[in-house]
Amino acid sequence: MEASAKPVAKILHSSDQFLVPFFQRAYKWGPKNWNQLQGDLWGLMEDGRHGKHFLGPLVCTADGGMPGEISAYQLIDGQQRLTTLALLLAGLRDVAQEHEFATLAEKINENYLIHKHERGLQRYKLVPRTGDREVFVAIVDQKPFDRQSSLQIVKAYEFFGKHIRRLAQAEGEKGLARLFESVTSGLYLVVIVINEENPYEIFESLNSTGLPLAESDLIRNYLFMHVAQDDQQEFHDEHWDPFEKMFDAADGFPAVDATSFYRNFLMRRGAYSKPKATFVDFKAYCEETALTPPQQVGELKRFAALELLLHRPTTCRNKQLTNRLTQLAAMDVATCHPLLLNLLDRQGRGDLGEEALIGCLDDLASFVLRRSICGENTRGYSKWFPEAIRAIQDDPREDLRGYWFRRGWPDDRTFVDSLVAFPVYRREPKKCRLVLGVLESNHGHKEKVDPSTLSIEHVLPQTLSGRGAAEWKKALGADWESLHSQWLNTLGNLTLTGYNSDLSNKPFAVKREAYLESNVSLNKYFKNCQQWGADEIEQRGMKMAAIVVELWPRPEGGPEFAPSDGRKALKQGKEQRAAYWGQLIERLRANPAWDRLPETTGESRLEMPTATKAATMLAWFKVGQQQLTAELTLRKSRGRDIYGELEAERDAIEAELGFKPEWNDHGRRGLSVTLEEVSIRDPLDWPGQLDWLATKLTALHQVVLPRVQQIDARLDEQPEDSESTRSSWEEKIGAQVLGLCDQVLMLVNEQSEEDYQLKYLKHYMSIASENEFKNVVSFWPRRGFVWMVARPKNRDRWAKRFGAAGLETEAHENRQLLVRIEAGTVGEHRAILAEYLKSVVENRKKGSKRPEELVAFWRQFAERLKSRQGVLTPQTPRPQAWMDLSTGRGGVWLVASVNSIKQRASVGLVLGGEASDRRFAALQAEATQIEAEVGEPVQWVGGPDRKQLRVYVRLPDVDVRDPATHPMVQDWMIDKLELFRGVFLPRVAGLD
């Protein structure tokens, strides 16, 4: 392997050609990446000729070729960067031509974009993969292309062209020349040429500073890896490209996520696959089936066609099947796709009749809808549906019915009672529209009415204001406020209309007249209604529920359903946890290795007694993250020393354990092992979980804990004095590792006029001068290397630079950056290490006023908040950019924050805990009304992978480091916090 840092001039201004292989993904960089690059370039222009900026690695392999030909390289990593640079240079060339700067335009074209005397594809310095190639070639050759194309490659070219034109207008040829110089001489990539390794395996292992590889990228690479090089063009054109295009947006339908399909494809056989293990499981599947790549793609195409039916049910030719798939799509339950693929495949192979398939889909829709309306938990669905596949034996419908009964399929009485009172519009907006639409379609129209074109209308208005407010309040009675909240979003108060906004808050008599004039059959109900209050809503809800229960039936004769009760659920949760840990303790008691065991507990963690104070052993689960963990944690006072000695025996420990635990060298220092995607809610899942947990805990107890006790006893014999000696450290870690610290010390002294020394402490070593209390760097010795630990300014930028140079780093809490120093590191990377250490030394001398500024800001904020004499209570001011404020409700809090770099302030609502997803979805369903009450657009930040969900507003363009702005910013924050509390807290309370 050859590696060297090169400017763009030495990469593109050469006789080399870079080819993007078929297994690479298409060009994907977007505005965030382009803005970052544009900002870096404009910064380089301000720095002058001597500025440098590292973009990251460019990994390639030689592609062979004959003497006298262009030297071709396959791009394994870095194609996004290099393609972006080529597009930027093409834009610079074109703008130079527009302004008749012919010399610059010709220089760029002939030296950086093309090989002037070559023909065919050898003419181009960069050759993207098929799909991007055609447009890229047109851009380079200055031929017509679709400038409105959705391809990112076109958008990138237009983005840079726009900014370059602005530069040309402002600074003319001199400005374009400065930009050209910054691109070609100021931008560096670390070019890594790999000579013998398999390029596909390299691609699979990469996770560089660019866009992270998706599971679908790795799967594409894996399949191409098994196609001979000479056959790849044919494989791409005849098999892969038609398959991959199936997921594109088409005929008004949005694109379908390929990675999700692969996971559904794997789970259709009944085995659960973790989201992050899709590629690993796909490889195992391919090895098991032993299909050739064309055969494998053929199978994928067959199931992809079924997956598309689930996303685009209206394309199905079977009317009955279209109806069922449309219902399931409207229920927003994508976790059932593996089961649906299995059933559709059975039907396609003739193993399942059409009537039986329709019956299975009807039962599934009933199971999902009834559980949602009855407030049952849906978190386990991703595992339940693959598990349901394994339950299928001879009679798929009956076998699945048995499984739905075991999991909890609400009976008619429970369903009807829940549906009448359930705030379906707020809690399940998509299912609400589905139910109303099916009710409307079920009426049997003389005139055809499409429910999807209608709006959901609240008969009793959402807000009681305006001219009709008094009449509505009178209809509800003295307790109008409570009844309005109770019945507003229930099924009985909802209908469909084509003129929702026209009716709004008008009196019932006016609304009734409009309802009766419409073609919507649901509205004929109001013909005999003279008023509309709580009793009328409940009565209509009961009649509608009686129809709904027939539309989504449950088989007669099934077991009685026991609905969960909110208050009882908490007690059951504690009882359930106590039972769970009790069963674990019984398993451990059967093993003579455990002479001391704890009592069971209703908490989420169980601590095991140990014979030493140096470590604790824990078993715990995180319900929200669905994780089960066995952990041995070291006591803080000696944790670093003990960990270092354990880590020196890492290979032996892992061999004795029989598994590789997570080695945590910071925070909760120790060893742990975690089982992902688990839930303790269902006792049927307990045996496998507890067997796993007992095995891991016992291994840690027998292998690691005795070592901890021995190390701790030895440390007890040492003097408690914090100082140590060089000889004791040399005995502990060896002269070679100690010499690494000496090399760093020499570099530090070269960067400073002061005399720095190596200090030998009991738990670690450090570099400091006699005149300074704080260390410049500390050393954490390990086997054969040391971690050099410091708190640099711009930590992330340094981590990126070190990574580009090939140095291993870790970013820890408290702004620490760890850099791995081993034999040869200082000699090979002397320049960047010297620059880094110089900045650390200077930063230590300067100190920082920012923490003091933040404390002062929040202290002033707290005083202004208290002066309002409102209900919000500030926290104790801390040196941080935010302050949380309690709402008195678990998992819900308000936050105010400032950002001095982006010059803005923010106020928001934060949702955490198990209920966060449900709360967030319900609030977002009311986004239009909420934004109207807030008085401005609101940002919604959610997603299944986020621990906390946020709703916030921002105050832009304000210098929060200027004390003169503080009163205005703080008053704005307090106003918004009080507004957010009034808008969101009642809604959250209603959800619970």
Q: Cα separation of 302 and 180, whole Å?
A: 50
CB-neighbour burial class of residue 120 (10 A; exposed 0-12, middle 13-18, buried 19+) = exposed
Q: What percent of the chain has pLDDT over 90?
A: 40
- Of 293-307, 642-656, 764-778, 886-900, the range with the lowest mean pLDDT is 764-778
Q: Name the range with the highest mean pLDDT among 33-42, 483-492, 744-753.
A: 483-492
**pLDDT (tens digit, 9 = 90+) per residue, 704-733?**
999 998 888 777 655 444 467 888 888 888
Report the C-alpha dihedral over residues 694, 700, 703, 705, rounded to 10 degrees: -130
Q: Cα separation of 671 and 693, whole Å?
A: 14
- Token digits for 4? 């060297």
In the chain the domains, ranked by start, together with CATH numbers, are: 2-213 (no CATH), 220-311 (no CATH), 318-409 (no CATH), 420-551 (no CATH), 566-709 (3.30.1460), 726-846 (3.90.1150.20), 850-991 (3.30.1460)
Partners of 54 in the β-ladder: 188
Handedness of CA 906, 912, 915, 916 (dihedral sign): positive
Mean pLDDT for the stretch of residues 885-913: 87
**pLDDT (tens digit, 9 = 90+) per residue, 821-866?**
998 898 888 889 999 998 888 877 665 456 678 888 999 999 999 9
- Token digits for 498? 């084509």
Q: What residues contact residue 332 under an 8 Å CB cut-off, 6+ apart?
A: 430, 431
Res 378: pLDDT: 80
**pLDDT (tens digit, 9 = 90+) per residue, 757-801?**
888 876 678 888 765 545 788 888 887 889 899 988 888 889 889
Mean pLDDT for the stretch of residues 66-92: 83
Q: Cα separation of 487 and 976, whole Å?
A: 30
Partners of 662 in the β-ladder: 672
Residue 813 CA, chain-centre distance (Å), reads 21
In the predicted model, is pLDDT for residue 114 greater than 60? yes
In the predicted model, is pLDDT for residue 68 greater than 70? no
- Token digits for 407? 């999991």
- Backbone torsion region of residue 563, taken as left when φ is above 0, otherwise alpha when ψ lies between -120 and 50, otherwise beta: beta
Mean pLDDT for the stretch of residues 53-60: 80
Residue 65 CA, chain-centre distance (Å), reads 43
Q: Which residue reads 């000695």 in tokens?
A: 645
- Token digits for 185? 């001489």
CB neighbours (10 Å) of residue 702?
A: 14
Residue 638 CA, chain-centre distance (Å), reads 36
Q: What is the mean pLDDT of the chain?
A: 85
Fill in the DSSP letter of residue 250: B
